[in-house]
Amino acid sequence: MDPRRILLAISGGIAAYKAPELLRALRKAGHDVRCALTPEAERFVSPLVLQSLSGRSVRRNLFDAGEEGEIDHIGLADWAELVLVAPATANLLAKMAHGLADDLVSTVLLATRAPVLVAPAMNVNMWSHPATATNAAILRSRGVSFVGPDAGELACGWEGLGRMSEPARIAEAVAACLTSKSLAGERVLVTAGGTAEAIDSVRTITNRSSGKMGFAIAAEAARRGAEVVLVAGISTQPTPFGVRRIDVGSALAMREAVLAEFEAAGIVIKAAAVADFRPAAPADRKLKKEDLPESGRLTLELVQNPDILAEICLRKGDRIVVGFAAESHDVVGAAQRKLARKGCDLIVANDISRRDAGFEVDQNAVVFVWPDQQVEELPLLDKSGVAAQLLDRVEKLRTRR
Ligand code: PMT
């Protein structure tokens, strides 16, 4: 993502202590960040820390000659390409909803024409109070975006909705706000992760897919404004911001979930590593050593799983369907044969014999294989970079649809 100018507005709640971590995440993503604090926020976070991390002086006062000299409050409101309010207290949400401008932060929020993203943090009863609910609804209706609040243990001792989302999650939401919504109105179905095929009630046959590749695609599609459904096999990856996730275990369960979501989808991207075979007769209890025959050998009979990609390609209509191919040799040749056999619009081939790409790692080196035999080889990229390149190609296909 291109570096952008972000104003981080911090209001006075305990969650303000997470602001430096959030600021670091935004700086790491390359953004230029200025901080503005309400008078109460200073009680929870040190302006000096924010100044050191942002490399910019911190704004606190509306009518301070020194502060206004560097950049006045209207200049600050105009400078921002995004205003992020984190944490956003119930008081600040109320001021925003009703147009109050009695300190620097609320004044800048009234003056800015930049998109605004808020990360609320407060006591569960304050969040669920009809006054706050109405204020949040007013702000949403004006196009203000929300990330969180999340449920959990609150600093006040209560449990429930009210925790500020984690800084990494807020940084994801920032990226989503800043990305052009080129896939708005599109429903994208992505599969990710490996499947697990039961041998008995505790053991499975699975593979090394972490889900990182498919999750990166789902995250990028959501950033581009698509409605994204992620059918996830075995994966410990966190659900990307704005994505609806359906967890499945086996290939059969993945098939069921994909077929249920397929009709409503315009784009389908199948990055999951689906097991081609499953044990024919999984035991419904844990197999014990005593169950083994005298030979000490256990023979597993495997049956073939349905090929989900081939099945959906048979009735794809004008949908765009992208498959992946995990190959260890003759990568392009094998992917071309796979594409011809399955009938998708594009195959993303990756060489899984490489240690720096493919399964588990954060990067991938892929080749786009097209039906007309053309191939496009990409350099080693972060999986988010591969996802962006892939969706650029998918968007081109979409314009031809
Ligand atoms: O998850 P990561 O750790 O980030 O790793 C990423 C990845 C290597 C798993 C990913 O980049 C990848 O290559 N995914 C596809 C893995 C795979 O199963 O490839 P395949 O060549 O066996 O299958 C070809 C295509 O058919 C795939 O789109 C697959 O989802 C689909 N398929 C396969 C078998 C089956 N029974 N049903 C299917 O739909």
Q: What's the pLDDT tens digit per position in 14-41?
A: 999 999 999 999 999 999 999 999 999 9
User: What CATH number corresponds to the domain at position 128?
Assistant: 3.40.50.1950
Residues in Cβ contact with 330 at an 8 Å cutoff, skipping those fewer than 6 apart: none
Of 197, 230, 274, the residue with max ligand 1 atoms within 8 A of its CB, to mutate for a pocket test, comes to 274
Res 68: pLDDT = 85
Residues in Cβ contact with 340 at an 8 Å cutoff, skipping those fewer than 6 apart: 371
Res 293: pLDDT = 84
Rounded to 5 degrees, what angle do the CA atoms 301, 309, 270 make? 110
3-state DSSP of 308-345? HHHHHHHCCCCCEEEEEEEECCCHHHHHHHHHHHHCCC
Res 155: pLDDT = 84
Query: Burial, 17: exposed, middle or buried (Cβ in 10 Å; 0-12, 13-18, 19+)?
Result: middle
What average pLDDT does range 361-369 have in this prediction? 96
CA 286 to centroid of ligand 1, rounded, Å? 29
User: What CATH number corresponds to the domain at position 252?
Assistant: 3.40.50.10300
CA 271 to centroid of ligand 1, rounded, Å? 5
Does residue 347 have its Cβ closer than 6 Å to ligand 1?
no
Percentage of residues in the chain having pLDDT higher than 90: 89
In 3D, which of 100, 87, 99 has the Cα closest to residue 126? 87
**Residues pairing with 368 in the sheet:** 348, 376
CA 199 to centroid of ligand 1, rounded, Å? 21
Say if CB 14 and CB 44 are below 8 A apart.
yes
Where residue 66 falls among pLDDT bands split at 50, 70, 90?
A: confident
In 3D, which of 275, 277, 284, 273 has the Cα closest to residue 301? 277
Does residue 282 have a cis bond before it (omega within 30 degrees)?
no
Where residue 295 falls among pLDDT bands split at 50, 70, 90?
A: confident
CA 382 to centroid of ligand 1, rounded, Å? 18
Res 69: pLDDT = 83
Does residue 272 have its Cβ closer than 6 Å to ligand 1?
yes
Q: How many residues does the chain have?
A: 401
Which position has the token pair 């304050």? Answer: 126
Percentage of residues in the chain having pLDDT higher than 70: 100
CA 324 to centroid of ligand 1, rounded, Å? 5
> Are residues 155 and 192 located together in one domain of the fold?
no
Which position has the token pair 């502060």? Answer: 67
Residue bearing the CA closest to ligand 1, atom 36: 307
* Domain hosting residue 145, numbered range: 5-178
Query: Does the pLDDT of residue 1 top 80, yes or no?
Result: no
From residue 40, alpha-carbon distances to 7, 96, 104 in Å are: 18, 16, 12
From residue 385, alpha-carbon distances to 160, 346, 361, 365 in Å are: 36, 18, 14, 10
Of 191, 195, 309, the residue with max ligand 1 atoms within 8 A of its CB, to mutate for a pocket test, comes to 309
Where residue 205 falls among pLDDT bands split at 50, 70, 90?
A: very high
Does residue 233 have its Cβ closer than 6 Å to ligand 1?
no
Does residue 270 have its Cβ closer than 6 Å to ligand 1?
yes
Res 42: pLDDT = 94
* Active site residues per annotation: 156
Residues in Cβ contact with 191 at an 8 Å cutoff, skipping those fewer than 6 apart: 214, 230, 231, 232, 233, 254, 258, 269, 270, 271, 272, 274, 308
Res 201: pLDDT = 96
> Are residues 98 and 127 located together in one domain of the fold?
yes
pLDDT in tens, 239-264: 988 899 999 999 999 999 999 999 99
Say if CB 234 and CB 275 are below 8 A apart.
no
In 3D, which of 241, 209, 236, 238 has the Cα closest to residue 224? 241
What average pLDDT does range 188-211 have in this prediction? 98
pLDDT in tens, 141-198: 888 999 999 999 888 888 889 999 999 999 999 999 999 899 999 999 999 999 999 9
Res 290: pLDDT = 86
> Are residues 194 and 126 located together in one domain of the fold?
no
Q: Among the three residues 156, 178, 200, which one is the final residue of a domain in this structure?
A: 178
Res 4: pLDDT = 95
Does residue 360 have its Cβ closer than 6 Å to ligand 1?
yes
Where residue 107 falls among pLDDT bands split at 50, 70, 90?
A: very high
> Are residues 256 and 366 located together in one domain of the fold?
yes
Q: Among the three residues 178, 198, 230, which one is the final residue of a domain in this structure?
A: 178
Query: Does the pLDDT of residue 300 top 90, yes or no?
Result: yes
Res 45: pLDDT = 96
Taking the C-alpha atoms of residue 162 and residue 78, their distance in angstroms, rounded to an integer, is 31
What mean pLDDT value characterizes the chain? 95
Give me the phi and psi of 324, to 5 degrees please.
Answer: -110, 160
Say if CB 73 and CB 105 are below 8 A apart.
no
3-class DSSP assignment, residue 74? helix
Radius of gyration of the chain (CA): 25
Where residue 70 falls among pLDDT bands split at 50, 70, 90?
A: confident
> Are residues 219 and 329 located together in one domain of the fold?
yes
Does residue 325 have its Cβ closer than 6 Å to ligand 1?
yes
> Are residues 234 and 111 located together in one domain of the fold?
no
3-class DSSP assignment, residue 369? strand
Query: Does the pLDDT of residue 65 top 90, yes or no?
Result: no
CA 327 to centroid of ligand 1, rounded, Å? 10
Of 324, 354, 359, the residue with max ligand 1 atoms within 8 A of its CB, to mutate for a pocket test, comes to 324
What average pLDDT does range 131-148 have in this prediction? 93
Res 64: pLDDT = 85
> Are residues 168 and 290 located together in one domain of the fold?
no
Buried b (16+ CB within 10 A) or exposed e, 151-187: eeebeeeeeebbbbbbbebbbbbbbbbbbeeebeebb
Does residue 350 have its Cβ closer than 6 Å to ligand 1?
yes
3-class DSSP assignment, residue 367? strand
Residue bearing the CA closest to ligand 1, atom 37: 307
Which atom, in ligand 1's list, is nearest to the CA of 251?
Answer: 36
> Are residues 201 and 294 located together in one domain of the fold?
yes
> Are residues 119 and 42 located together in one domain of the fold?
yes
Does residue 366 have its Cβ closer than 6 Å to ligand 1?
no
> Are residues 193 and 166 located together in one domain of the fold?
no
What average pLDDT does range 341-366 have in this prediction? 95
Does residue 194 have its Cβ closer than 6 Å to ligand 1?
no
> Are residues 169 and 295 located together in one domain of the fold?
no
Where residue 206 falls among pLDDT bands split at 50, 70, 90?
A: very high
Query: Does the pLDDT of residue 401 top 80, yes or no?
Result: no
Which atom, in ligand 1's list, is nearest to the CA of 213?
Answer: 4
* Number of folded domains that form the chain: 2
What average pLDDT does range 77-101 have in this prediction? 97
CA 164 to centroid of ligand 1, rounded, Å? 36
Where residue 397 falls among pLDDT bands split at 50, 70, 90?
A: very high
> Are residues 205 and 160 located together in one domain of the fold?
no
